[in-house]
Structure 1
Protein backbone atom coordinates (compact mmCIF):
# COMPACT_ATOMS: atom_id res chain seq x y z
CA UNK A 1 0.00 0.00 0.00
CA UNK A 2 2.87 2.35 0.77
CA UNK A 3 4.38 1.74 -2.65
CA UNK A 4 1.03 2.47 -4.27
CA UNK A 5 0.76 5.78 -2.42
CA UNK A 6 4.25 6.84 -3.44
CA UNK A 7 3.76 5.96 -7.09
CA UNK A 8 0.49 7.89 -7.28
CA UNK A 9 2.08 10.96 -5.67
CA UNK A 10 5.20 10.95 -7.83
CA UNK A 11 3.60 12.09 -11.15
CA UNK A 12 2.07 15.14 -9.45
CA UNK A 13 5.43 16.09 -7.94
CA UNK A 14 7.17 15.62 -11.27
CA UNK A 15 4.50 17.70 -12.96
CA UNK A 16 5.16 20.56 -10.55
CA UNK A 17 8.91 20.25 -11.08
CA UNK A 18 8.46 20.50 -14.84
CA UNK A 19 6.55 23.76 -14.39
CA UNK A 20 9.10 25.22 -12.01
CA UNK A 21 10.60 28.41 -13.54
CA UNK A 22 14.29 28.94 -14.22
CA UNK A 23 16.33 30.44 -11.39
CA UNK A 24 16.23 34.22 -11.71
CA UNK A 25 19.61 35.96 -11.69
CA UNK A 26 18.66 39.49 -12.74
CA UNK A 27 17.66 39.11 -16.40
CA UNK A 28 14.39 38.44 -18.27
CA UNK A 29 12.29 39.37 -15.24
CA UNK A 30 8.93 39.53 -17.03
CA UNK A 31 9.34 36.03 -18.44
CA UNK A 32 10.47 34.69 -15.07
CA UNK A 33 7.66 36.46 -13.19
CA UNK A 34 5.04 34.98 -15.49
CA UNK A 35 6.42 31.48 -14.91
CA UNK A 36 6.63 32.04 -11.14
CA UNK A 37 2.99 33.13 -10.89
CA UNK A 38 1.87 30.07 -12.82
CA UNK A 39 4.03 27.84 -10.63
CA UNK A 40 2.66 29.38 -7.40
CA UNK A 41 -0.86 28.89 -8.76
CA UNK A 42 -0.15 25.19 -9.30
CA UNK A 43 1.20 25.00 -5.76
CA UNK A 44 -2.02 26.73 -4.55
CA UNK A 45 -0.22 29.52 -2.70
CA UNK A 46 -0.41 32.40 -5.21
CA UNK A 47 -3.25 33.95 -3.19
CA UNK A 48 -0.70 34.94 -0.53
CA UNK A 49 0.63 37.69 -2.83
CA UNK A 50 -2.65 39.61 -2.65
CA UNK A 51 -4.09 38.50 0.71
CA UNK A 52 -3.99 40.74 3.74
CA UNK A 53 -1.94 39.55 6.69
CA UNK A 54 -4.56 38.27 9.23
CA UNK A 55 -2.27 39.30 12.06
CA UNK A 56 -3.03 42.90 11.15
CA UNK A 57 -6.79 42.42 11.38
CA UNK A 58 -8.49 43.77 14.52
CA UNK A 59 -10.35 40.89 16.26
CA UNK A 60 -11.73 42.81 19.26
CA UNK A 61 -15.29 43.14 17.93
CA UNK A 62 -15.49 39.65 16.37
CA UNK A 63 -18.07 37.16 17.56
CA UNK A 64 -16.93 33.77 18.82
CA UNK A 65 -17.87 32.16 15.47
CA UNK A 66 -16.03 34.85 13.47
CA UNK A 67 -13.01 34.45 15.71
CA UNK A 68 -12.87 30.68 15.09
CA UNK A 69 -13.05 31.27 11.32
CA UNK A 70 -10.40 33.95 11.56
CA UNK A 71 -8.05 31.69 13.50
CA UNK A 72 -8.44 28.92 10.90
CA UNK A 73 -7.80 31.44 8.15
CA UNK A 74 -4.74 32.80 10.01
CA UNK A 75 -3.32 29.30 10.45
CA UNK A 76 -3.75 28.55 6.73
CA UNK A 77 -2.28 31.93 5.79
CA UNK A 78 0.77 31.36 7.99
CA UNK A 79 1.40 27.92 6.51
CA UNK A 80 0.89 29.00 2.86
CA UNK A 81 2.85 32.20 3.38
CA UNK A 82 5.89 30.24 4.52
CA UNK A 83 5.58 27.84 1.57
CA UNK A 84 5.12 30.73 -0.90
CA UNK A 85 8.19 32.51 0.42
CA UNK A 86 10.30 29.36 0.17
CA UNK A 87 9.06 28.61 -3.36
CA UNK A 88 10.07 32.15 -4.30
CA UNK A 89 13.52 31.80 -2.80
CA UNK A 90 14.10 28.48 -4.56
CA UNK A 91 13.42 30.23 -7.88
CA UNK A 92 16.26 32.73 -7.32
CA UNK A 93 19.97 32.45 -8.04
CA UNK A 94 22.22 31.76 -5.04
CA UNK A 95 23.32 35.39 -4.88
CA UNK A 96 19.75 36.76 -4.91
CA UNK A 97 18.62 34.00 -2.54
CA UNK A 98 21.15 35.12 0.07
CA UNK A 99 20.08 38.74 -0.23
CA UNK A 100 16.28 38.34 -0.29
CA UNK A 101 16.12 35.59 2.34
CA UNK A 102 17.85 37.88 4.86
CA UNK A 103 16.14 41.11 3.79
CA UNK A 104 12.45 40.20 3.41
CA UNK A 105 10.46 38.07 5.85
CA UNK A 106 7.32 37.72 3.71
CA UNK A 107 6.56 36.52 0.18
CA UNK A 108 4.48 39.62 -0.62
CA UNK A 109 7.25 42.06 0.34
CA UNK A 110 9.78 40.03 -1.60
CA UNK A 111 7.54 40.02 -4.69
CA UNK A 112 6.99 43.79 -4.52
CA UNK A 113 10.72 44.43 -4.06
CA UNK A 114 11.59 42.27 -7.09
CA UNK A 115 8.95 44.05 -9.19
CA UNK A 116 10.13 47.52 -8.18
CA UNK A 117 13.76 46.74 -8.94
CA UNK A 118 13.67 44.59 -12.06
CA UNK A 119 10.42 45.65 -13.74
CA UNK A 120 11.55 49.29 -13.48
CA UNK A 121 15.05 48.40 -14.67
CA UNK A 122 13.74 46.66 -17.81
CA UNK A 123 11.43 49.59 -18.58
CA UNK A 124 14.36 51.99 -18.11
CA UNK A 125 16.54 49.88 -20.36
CA UNK A 126 13.92 49.95 -23.13
CA UNK A 127 13.54 53.72 -22.72
CA UNK A 128 17.26 54.45 -23.05
CA UNK A 129 17.99 51.73 -25.60
CA UNK A 130 15.22 52.95 -27.94
CA UNK A 131 17.45 55.56 -29.71
CA UNK A 132 20.04 52.83 -30.31
CA UNK A 133 17.59 50.74 -32.31
CA UNK A 134 15.72 53.64 -33.94
CA UNK A 135 18.79 55.39 -35.37
CA UNK A 136 19.15 55.04 -39.16
CA UNK A 137 22.24 55.78 -41.22
CA UNK A 138 22.25 58.36 -43.98
CA UNK A 139 23.93 58.11 -47.39
CA UNK A 140 25.04 61.74 -47.06
CA UNK A 141 27.23 61.21 -43.99
CA UNK A 142 30.31 59.06 -43.51
CA UNK A 143 29.43 55.58 -42.23
CA UNK A 144 32.41 55.70 -39.86
CA UNK A 145 31.25 59.06 -38.41
CA UNK A 146 27.71 57.70 -37.95
CA UNK A 147 29.11 54.60 -36.24
CA UNK A 148 30.95 56.84 -33.76
CA UNK A 149 27.62 58.63 -33.10
CA UNK A 150 26.06 55.26 -32.41
CA UNK A 151 28.83 54.48 -29.95
CA UNK A 152 28.17 57.76 -28.14
CA UNK A 153 24.53 56.71 -27.66
CA UNK A 154 25.73 53.35 -26.28
CA UNK A 155 28.05 55.10 -23.80
CA UNK A 156 25.16 57.32 -22.62
CA UNK A 157 23.03 54.23 -22.02
CA UNK A 158 25.85 52.50 -20.12
CA UNK A 159 26.37 55.64 -18.02
CA UNK A 160 22.78 55.20 -16.79
CA UNK A 161 23.84 51.90 -15.26
CA UNK A 162 22.33 49.77 -18.03
CA UNK A 163 24.45 46.92 -19.36
CA UNK A 164 24.77 46.48 -23.13
CA UNK A 165 27.19 43.72 -24.04
CA UNK A 166 29.71 44.10 -26.87
CA UNK A 167 28.06 41.51 -29.12
CA UNK A 168 24.81 43.49 -29.02
CA UNK A 169 26.71 46.64 -30.02
CA UNK A 170 28.43 44.85 -32.92
CA UNK A 171 25.10 43.44 -34.15
CA UNK A 172 23.38 46.85 -33.91
CA UNK A 173 26.10 48.52 -36.01
CA UNK A 174 26.09 45.79 -38.68
CA UNK A 175 22.27 45.88 -38.90
CA UNK A 176 22.30 49.64 -39.52
CA UNK A 177 24.73 49.66 -42.44
CA UNK A 178 23.46 51.31 -45.62
CA UNK A 179 21.97 49.41 -48.57
CA UNK A 180 25.01 50.41 -50.60
CA UNK A 181 27.08 48.38 -48.10
CA UNK A 182 24.88 45.30 -48.46
CA UNK A 183 27.55 42.92 -49.80
CA UNK A 184 30.05 44.05 -47.18
CA UNK A 185 27.32 43.68 -44.52
CA UNK A 186 26.74 40.05 -45.54
CA UNK A 187 30.43 39.31 -45.04
CA UNK A 188 30.34 40.89 -41.58
CA UNK A 189 27.29 38.89 -40.52
CA UNK A 190 29.26 35.66 -40.97
CA UNK A 191 31.94 37.03 -38.63
CA UNK A 192 29.87 39.03 -36.13
CA UNK A 193 30.29 36.51 -33.29
CA UNK A 194 34.07 36.81 -33.61
CA UNK A 195 34.21 40.60 -34.00
CA UNK A 196 34.89 43.08 -31.21
CA UNK A 197 33.98 46.75 -31.49
CA UNK A 198 37.64 47.60 -32.16
CA UNK A 199 37.86 44.99 -34.95
CA UNK A 200 34.60 46.16 -36.49
CA UNK A 201 35.57 49.83 -36.44
CA UNK A 202 38.91 49.01 -38.08
CA UNK A 203 37.17 47.08 -40.87
CA UNK A 204 34.66 49.88 -41.42
CA UNK A 205 37.46 52.43 -41.68
CA UNK A 206 39.38 50.30 -44.20
CA UNK A 207 36.24 49.65 -46.25
CA UNK A 208 35.37 53.37 -46.25
CA UNK A 209 38.90 54.17 -47.45
CA UNK A 210 38.68 51.51 -50.19
CA UNK A 211 35.40 52.99 -51.38
CA UNK A 212 36.78 56.53 -51.26
CA UNK A 213 39.81 55.47 -53.30
CA UNK A 214 37.59 53.62 -55.81
CA UNK A 215 35.53 56.76 -56.37
CA UNK A 216 38.66 58.84 -56.76
CA UNK A 217 40.16 56.40 -59.29
CA UNK A 218 36.88 56.14 -61.17
CA UNK A 219 36.56 59.92 -61.39
CA UNK A 220 40.18 60.17 -62.59
CA UNK A 221 39.63 57.40 -65.19
CA UNK A 222 36.43 59.02 -66.45
CA UNK A 223 38.12 62.41 -66.70
CA UNK A 224 41.12 60.93 -68.53
CA UNK A 225 38.85 58.99 -70.85
CA UNK A 226 36.82 62.12 -71.58
CA UNK A 227 39.95 64.18 -72.33
CA UNK A 228 41.38 61.42 -74.50
CA UNK A 229 38.11 61.14 -76.45
CA UNK A 230 38.03 64.89 -76.97
CA UNK A 231 41.60 64.86 -78.26
CA UNK A 232 40.77 62.08 -80.71
CA UNK A 233 37.71 63.90 -81.90
CA UNK A 234 39.83 66.96 -82.46
CA UNK A 235 42.25 64.88 -84.52
CA UNK A 236 39.45 63.18 -86.45
CA UNK A 237 40.32 59.82 -84.89
CA UNK A 238 37.40 57.93 -83.36
CA UNK A 239 39.48 55.15 -81.78
CA UNK A 240 38.05 53.88 -78.52
CA UNK A 241 40.34 53.52 -75.50
CA UNK A 242 39.40 51.47 -72.41
CA UNK A 243 40.76 52.34 -68.99
CA UNK A 244 40.86 50.04 -65.94
CA UNK A 245 39.52 51.32 -62.63
CA UNK A 246 40.70 49.94 -59.28
CA UNK A 247 37.56 47.81 -59.12
CA UNK A 248 38.27 46.41 -62.61
CA UNK A 249 41.77 45.45 -61.55
CA UNK A 250 40.43 43.24 -58.73
CA UNK A 251 39.90 39.55 -59.51
CA UNK A 252 36.55 38.92 -61.15
CA UNK A 253 33.69 38.27 -58.69
CA UNK A 254 35.40 39.84 -55.69
CA UNK A 255 33.41 42.36 -53.66
CA UNK A 256 34.89 45.02 -51.43
CA UNK A 257 34.68 42.84 -48.33
CA UNK A 258 36.77 40.13 -50.02
CA UNK A 259 39.24 42.70 -51.29
CA UNK A 260 39.48 44.14 -47.80
CA UNK A 261 40.25 40.70 -46.37
CA UNK A 262 43.03 40.32 -48.95
CA UNK A 263 44.37 43.68 -47.81
CA UNK A 264 44.22 42.64 -44.15
CA UNK A 265 45.92 39.33 -44.88
CA UNK A 266 48.91 41.10 -46.46
CA UNK A 267 49.34 43.30 -43.36
CA UNK A 268 48.30 40.90 -40.63
CA UNK A 269 44.83 40.34 -39.18
CA UNK A 270 43.23 43.07 -37.02
Structure 2
Protein backbone atom coordinates (compact mmCIF):
# COMPACT_ATOMS: atom_id res chain seq x y z
CA UNK A 1 0.00 0.00 0.00
CA UNK A 2 1.31 3.48 -0.92
CA UNK A 3 0.32 6.88 0.47
CA UNK A 4 -0.34 9.96 -1.63
CA UNK A 5 3.40 10.69 -1.83
CA UNK A 6 4.07 7.33 -3.46
CA UNK A 7 5.98 5.88 -0.49
CA UNK A 8 5.36 2.26 0.51
CA UNK A 9 3.63 2.13 3.93
CA UNK A 10 3.46 -1.67 4.34
CA UNK A 11 5.04 -2.94 7.57
CA UNK A 12 5.63 -6.64 7.96
CA UNK A 13 4.64 -8.43 11.13
CA UNK A 14 8.20 -9.57 11.71
CA UNK A 15 9.53 -6.00 11.41
CA UNK A 16 6.93 -4.80 13.92
CA UNK A 17 7.78 -7.54 16.39
CA UNK A 18 11.50 -6.83 16.03
CA UNK A 19 10.95 -3.15 16.80
CA UNK A 20 8.99 -4.04 19.94
CA UNK A 21 6.07 -1.82 18.97
CA UNK A 22 3.17 -3.91 17.63
CA UNK A 23 2.21 -7.49 16.96
CA UNK A 24 -0.37 -8.42 14.35
CA UNK A 25 -2.79 -11.11 15.56
CA UNK A 26 -3.99 -13.90 13.24
CA UNK A 27 -7.47 -12.42 13.02
CA UNK A 28 -6.04 -9.13 11.76
CA UNK A 29 -6.06 -7.15 15.03
CA UNK A 30 -3.02 -5.13 16.04
CA UNK A 31 -2.17 -4.88 19.73
CA UNK A 32 0.68 -3.15 21.56
CA UNK A 33 3.59 -5.32 22.55
CA UNK A 34 4.28 -4.83 26.27
CA UNK A 35 7.73 -5.60 27.62
CA UNK A 36 8.41 -6.11 31.31
CA UNK A 37 10.75 -3.48 32.70
CA UNK A 38 12.88 -4.74 35.59
CA UNK A 39 14.49 -1.37 36.30
CA UNK A 40 12.19 -0.72 39.28
CA UNK A 41 13.98 -3.18 41.57
CA UNK A 42 14.08 -1.68 45.08
CA UNK A 43 17.31 -0.97 46.90
CA UNK A 44 18.48 -3.31 49.66
CA UNK A 45 16.44 -3.15 52.86
CA UNK A 46 18.64 -2.38 55.89
CA UNK A 47 15.90 -2.33 58.50
CA UNK A 48 14.78 1.31 58.15
CA UNK A 49 11.85 2.92 56.31
CA UNK A 50 10.10 -0.42 55.95
CA UNK A 51 6.81 0.98 54.70
CA UNK A 52 8.45 2.71 51.72
CA UNK A 53 10.56 -0.35 50.87
CA UNK A 54 7.53 -2.64 51.18
CA UNK A 55 5.51 -0.58 48.69
CA UNK A 56 8.38 -0.51 46.19
CA UNK A 57 8.87 -4.26 46.59
CA UNK A 58 5.18 -4.93 46.07
CA UNK A 59 5.17 -2.86 42.89
CA UNK A 60 8.27 -4.65 41.61
CA UNK A 61 6.74 -8.08 42.20
CA UNK A 62 3.51 -6.94 40.53
CA UNK A 63 5.44 -6.09 37.35
CA UNK A 64 6.78 -9.66 37.46
CA UNK A 65 3.28 -11.14 37.98
CA UNK A 66 4.44 -12.66 41.26
CA UNK A 67 2.78 -10.49 43.92
CA UNK A 68 -0.06 -12.98 44.53
CA UNK A 69 2.40 -15.44 46.04
CA UNK A 70 2.94 -13.04 48.97
CA UNK A 71 -0.48 -14.04 50.29
CA UNK A 72 -1.13 -17.39 48.61
CA UNK A 73 -0.70 -20.85 50.13
CA UNK A 74 0.14 -23.94 48.12
CA UNK A 75 -2.80 -24.82 45.85
CA UNK A 76 -5.47 -27.31 46.81
CA UNK A 77 -5.97 -29.41 43.74
CA UNK A 78 -9.50 -30.08 42.59
CA UNK A 79 -10.80 -33.57 41.95
CA UNK A 80 -10.65 -34.99 38.45
CA UNK A 81 -7.03 -34.14 37.75
CA UNK A 82 -4.70 -36.90 36.70
CA UNK A 83 -1.56 -37.54 38.69
CA UNK A 84 0.53 -35.91 36.00
CA UNK A 85 -1.66 -32.80 35.96
CA UNK A 86 -1.54 -32.54 39.74
CA UNK A 87 2.25 -32.86 39.80
CA UNK A 88 2.63 -30.26 37.06
CA UNK A 89 0.32 -27.82 38.87
CA UNK A 90 2.21 -28.18 42.16
CA UNK A 91 5.59 -27.91 40.45
CA UNK A 92 4.48 -24.75 38.62
CA UNK A 93 3.30 -23.16 41.88
CA UNK A 94 6.50 -24.11 43.72
CA UNK A 95 8.63 -22.65 40.94
CA UNK A 96 6.78 -19.29 40.96
CA UNK A 97 6.78 -19.17 44.76
CA UNK A 98 10.52 -19.89 44.74
CA UNK A 99 11.10 -16.97 42.37
CA UNK A 100 8.93 -14.61 44.44
CA UNK A 101 10.64 -15.57 47.70
CA UNK A 102 14.11 -15.10 46.27
CA UNK A 103 13.29 -11.75 44.67
CA UNK A 104 12.38 -10.54 48.17
CA UNK A 105 15.39 -12.21 49.79
CA UNK A 106 17.79 -10.64 47.28
CA UNK A 107 16.50 -7.20 48.27
CA UNK A 108 17.46 -7.76 51.92
CA UNK A 109 20.78 -6.67 53.34
CA UNK A 110 23.14 -9.57 54.11
CA UNK A 111 22.58 -9.20 57.87
CA UNK A 112 18.82 -9.64 57.36
CA UNK A 113 19.21 -12.29 54.66
CA UNK A 114 20.76 -14.69 57.16
CA UNK A 115 17.91 -14.09 59.61
CA UNK A 116 14.99 -14.58 57.18
CA UNK A 117 16.29 -17.41 55.01
CA UNK A 118 14.57 -19.88 57.37
CA UNK A 119 11.21 -19.04 55.76
CA UNK A 120 10.51 -21.47 52.96
CA UNK A 121 7.63 -19.70 51.19
CA UNK A 122 7.15 -16.14 49.95
CA UNK A 123 4.05 -15.73 52.12
CA UNK A 124 5.81 -16.79 55.34
CA UNK A 125 8.74 -14.47 54.58
CA UNK A 126 6.51 -11.49 53.76
CA UNK A 127 4.34 -11.93 56.86
CA UNK A 128 7.39 -12.24 59.11
CA UNK A 129 8.87 -8.99 57.76
CA UNK A 130 5.51 -7.27 58.09
CA UNK A 131 5.05 -8.31 61.73
CA UNK A 132 8.56 -7.31 62.71
CA UNK A 133 8.91 -3.92 61.06
CA UNK A 134 5.36 -2.61 61.22
CA UNK A 135 5.58 -3.02 64.99
CA UNK A 136 8.78 -0.99 64.98
CA UNK A 137 7.11 1.63 62.77
CA UNK A 138 4.35 1.93 65.37
CA UNK A 139 7.01 2.56 68.02
CA UNK A 140 8.61 5.22 65.82
CA UNK A 141 5.25 6.97 65.51
CA UNK A 142 4.84 7.11 69.28
CA UNK A 143 8.38 8.45 69.65
CA UNK A 144 7.97 11.29 67.17
CA UNK A 145 4.56 12.26 68.61
CA UNK A 146 6.09 12.35 72.08
CA UNK A 147 8.92 14.54 70.78
CA UNK A 148 6.36 16.99 69.37
CA UNK A 149 4.26 17.10 72.55
CA UNK A 150 7.33 17.60 74.79
CA UNK A 151 8.82 20.41 72.72
CA UNK A 152 8.82 23.72 74.63
CA UNK A 153 9.90 27.09 73.27
CA UNK A 154 12.19 29.27 75.39
CA UNK A 155 12.92 32.99 75.43
CA UNK A 156 16.69 32.47 75.19
CA UNK A 157 16.50 31.38 71.51
CA UNK A 158 14.96 33.10 68.52
CA UNK A 159 11.35 32.14 67.89
CA UNK A 160 11.90 31.58 64.17
CA UNK A 161 14.68 29.04 64.77
CA UNK A 162 12.44 27.17 67.22
CA UNK A 163 9.52 27.21 64.77
CA UNK A 164 11.83 25.62 62.20
CA UNK A 165 12.67 22.86 64.68
CA UNK A 166 8.95 22.24 65.24
CA UNK A 167 8.39 22.09 61.48
CA UNK A 168 11.03 19.35 61.20
CA UNK A 169 9.20 17.30 63.84
CA UNK A 170 5.88 17.89 62.07
CA UNK A 171 7.46 16.69 58.82
CA UNK A 172 8.58 13.50 60.59
CA UNK A 173 5.01 12.96 61.82
CA UNK A 174 3.63 13.39 58.30
CA UNK A 175 6.31 11.02 56.94
CA UNK A 176 5.03 8.36 59.36
CA UNK A 177 1.63 8.54 57.64
CA UNK A 178 -0.16 10.54 60.33
CA UNK A 179 -2.33 13.33 58.95
CA UNK A 180 -2.25 16.73 60.64
CA UNK A 181 -4.26 19.57 59.15
CA UNK A 182 -2.49 22.87 58.61
CA UNK A 183 -4.99 24.51 60.98
CA UNK A 184 -3.84 22.15 63.75
CA UNK A 185 -0.17 22.80 62.98
CA UNK A 186 -0.64 26.57 63.14
CA UNK A 187 -2.59 26.37 66.41
CA UNK A 188 0.05 24.07 67.93
CA UNK A 189 2.91 26.44 67.07
CA UNK A 190 1.00 29.41 68.54
CA UNK A 191 0.33 27.43 71.72
CA UNK A 192 4.04 26.64 72.07
CA UNK A 193 5.24 30.27 71.87
CA UNK A 194 7.58 31.11 74.80
CA UNK A 195 6.46 32.94 77.98
CA UNK A 196 7.82 36.30 76.77
CA UNK A 197 5.39 36.14 73.85
CA UNK A 198 2.28 35.75 75.99
CA UNK A 199 0.55 38.93 74.78
CA UNK A 200 1.32 38.21 71.13
CA UNK A 201 0.13 34.62 71.58
CA UNK A 202 -3.21 35.86 72.92
CA UNK A 203 -3.45 38.31 70.01
CA UNK A 204 -2.94 35.48 67.50
CA UNK A 205 -5.38 33.15 69.28
CA UNK A 206 -8.16 35.74 69.08
CA UNK A 207 -7.78 36.33 65.36
CA UNK A 208 -10.84 34.96 63.59
CA UNK A 209 -9.32 34.56 60.15
CA UNK A 210 -7.46 31.30 59.71
CA UNK A 211 -3.77 31.54 58.89
CA UNK A 212 -1.54 29.26 56.90
CA UNK A 213 1.79 28.19 58.36
CA UNK A 214 3.51 30.52 55.93
CA UNK A 215 1.39 33.48 57.13
CA UNK A 216 2.16 32.65 60.75
CA UNK A 217 5.91 32.53 60.13
CA UNK A 218 5.79 35.92 58.38
CA UNK A 219 3.92 37.46 61.35
CA UNK A 220 6.35 35.93 63.85
CA UNK A 221 9.34 37.13 61.86
CA UNK A 222 7.98 40.70 61.71
CA UNK A 223 7.21 40.68 65.44
CA UNK A 224 10.66 39.34 66.27
CA UNK A 225 12.35 41.98 64.08
CA UNK A 226 10.28 44.71 65.78
CA UNK A 227 11.26 43.43 69.20
CA UNK A 228 14.90 43.42 68.15
CA UNK A 229 14.64 47.02 66.95
CA UNK A 230 12.90 48.12 70.17
CA UNK A 231 15.55 46.40 72.22
CA UNK A 232 18.36 48.20 70.36
CA UNK A 233 16.59 51.56 70.74
CA UNK A 234 16.10 51.02 74.48
CA UNK A 235 19.75 50.06 74.92
CA UNK A 236 20.84 53.20 73.05
CA UNK A 237 18.61 55.47 75.19
CA UNK A 238 19.85 53.84 78.41
CA UNK A 239 23.44 54.32 77.30
CA UNK A 240 22.87 58.05 76.62
CA UNK A 241 21.13 58.44 79.97
CA UNK A 242 24.05 56.86 81.76
CA UNK A 243 26.51 59.18 80.02
CA UNK A 244 24.52 62.27 81.01
CA UNK A 245 24.16 61.09 84.58
CA UNK A 246 27.91 60.43 84.79
CA UNK A 247 28.72 63.95 83.58
In the superposition, the TM-score normalised over structure 1's length comes to 0.44
More helix by share: 1
In the superposition, the TM-score normalised over structure 2's length comes to 0.48
